Structure 1
Amino acid sequence: MELDLWWLLLFPAFFALGWLAARVDMRTVLKQAKALPAGFFKGLDALVDDKTDVASQALAEVVRQEPQSFDLSLTLGKLYRKRGENDRAIRLHQSLLDAPDISPEMRERMRFELAQDFHKAGLVDRAEEILQGLLSGNMGLSARQQLLDIYQQDRDWLKAIETARELRTDAHSFQHEVAQFYCELAQGELYRSNSGKAREYVAEALAVNRKCVRASLILGDIEFALENYPAAIAAWQKIEKQNYAFLSMAAERLFDAYEKLGKPAEGIALIKGYSETFPQLELTDLLYEKVATYEGEARALSVTREAVHARPNLTGAYRLIEAQMGGLLTQEGRSDAELVRALVLKYAQRLTQHRCRRCNFRSRAFFWHCPACGEWESFSPNRSEG
Structure 2
Amino acid sequence: MDFDLSWLLLGLPLAFILGWLASRFDLRQLRLENRQAPKAYFRGLNFLLNEQQDQAIDAFIEAVQNDPDTQELHFALGNLFRRRGEYQRAVRVHEHLLSRADLSRADRNRAQHALAQDFLRAGLLDRAEAALQKLEGTIYENDARMALLGIYERSREWTQAEAVARKLDESEQASYGTRRGHYLCEQASELAARGDADGAIALLQQAAQVAPAAPRPAIDLAALQLQQGAPAQAFATLKALAETAPLALPLYATLMQQAAAASQHSGEALALLQRRYAAAPSIDVLDAIVALGGSTSLEEIDDAGSSDTVTVANPRDSYVAHLQHHPSLVAASRWLAGERFEREALHPPVQRALDQAVRPLMRYRCAACGFEAHQYFWHCPGCQAWDSYPPRRVEEL
Give TM-score, length-normalised by structure 2: 0.71
Residue 233 of structure 1 deviates from its aligned partner by: 0.3
Aligned to 1:223: 225
Aligned residue identity for 2:76 = L
Call closer, same or farther: CA 1:290–1:66 in 2, change over 3 Å: farther
Aligned to 2:365: 355
- Taking the TM superposition and a 5 Å limit, the aligned residue runs for 1:65-80 are 65-67=62-64, 68=70, 69-80=73-84
2:235 to 204, 223, 233: 233
8 Å Cα contact 2:188-2:204 kept in structure 1 = yes
Aligned to 2:58: 61
Q: Distance in 2 between matches of 1:186 and 1:304?
A: 37
1:278 paired to 2:280: yes
- Taking the TM superposition and a 5 Å limit, the aligned residue runs for 1:22-41 are 37-38=42-43, 40-41=45-46
8 Å Cα contact 1:97-1:110 kept in structure 2 = yes
- Taking the TM superposition and a 5 Å limit, the aligned residue runs for 1:180-191 are 180-191=182-193
Considering Cα pairs closer than 8 Å and 6+ residues apart, tell me whether 1 or 2 has the greater RCO: 1
Aligned residue identity for 2:185 = C
Q: Distance in 2 between matches of 1:233 and 1:199?
A: 15
Aligned to 2:17: none
Q: Can you give the 5+ residue segments of structure 2 that lack an aligned partner in the other structure? A: 1-37, 65-69, 295-312
Aligned residues: 334
Give TM-score, length-normalised by structure 1: 0.73
Identity %: 25
Residue 215 of structure 1 deviates from its aligned partner by: 0.8
Q: Distance in 1 between matches of 2:389 and 2:59?
A: 44
Q: Can you give the 5+ residue segments of structure 1 that lack an aligned partner in the other structure? A: 1-32, 47-54, 293-297
1:376 paired to 2:386: yes
Aligned to 1:132: 133
Residue 60 of structure 1 deviates from its aligned partner by: 2.2
Aligned to 1:250: 252
Deviations 1:338-367 (A, max 9, x none): 55x555544433355323334444333321
Aligned to 2:317: 302
- Taking the TM superposition and a 5 Å limit, the aligned residue runs for 1:1-386 are 37-38=42-43, 40-46=45-51, 56-67=53-64, 68=70, 69-80=73-84, 83=85, 85-98=86-99, 102-168=103-169, 169-261=171-263, 271-280=273-282, 282-285=284-287, 291=293, 299-324=314-339, 326-329=340-343, 334=346, 338=349, 344-385=354-395
Call closer, same or farther: CA 1:99–1:57 in 2, change over 3 Å: farther
Q: Secondary structure at the match of 1:108?
A: helix
Residue 269 of structure 1 deviates from its aligned partner by: 5.7
Q: Which moved more, 1:177-186 or 1:349-358?
A: 349-358
Q: Secondary structure at the match of 1:87?
A: helix
Q: Secondary structure at the match of 1:282?
A: helix
8 Å Cα contact 2:319-2:331 kept in structure 1 = yes
Residue 200 of structure 1 deviates from its aligned partner by: 1.5
Residue 281 of structure 1 deviates from its aligned partner by: 5.2
Q: Distance in 1 between matches of 2:114 and 2:322?
A: 55
Q: Which moved more, 1:253-262 or 1:134-143?
A: 253-262
Q: Distance in 2 between matches of 1:131 and 1:383?
A: 40
Call closer, same or farther: CA 1:263–1:209 in 2, change over 3 Å: closer
Q: Indicate the structure (1 or 2) with the bigger Cα radius of gyration.
A: 2
Q: Secondary structure at the match of 2:202?
A: helix
Call closer, same or farther: CA 1:376–1:185 in 2, change over 3 Å: same
Q: Distance in 1 between matches of 2:358 and 2:344?
A: 26
8 Å Cα contact 1:248-1:283 kept in structure 2 = yes
Aligned residue identity for 1:79 = R
Residue 128 of structure 1 deviates from its aligned partner by: 1.8
Deviations 1:207-253 (A, max 9, x none): 11212211101221232133221111011122222322322221222
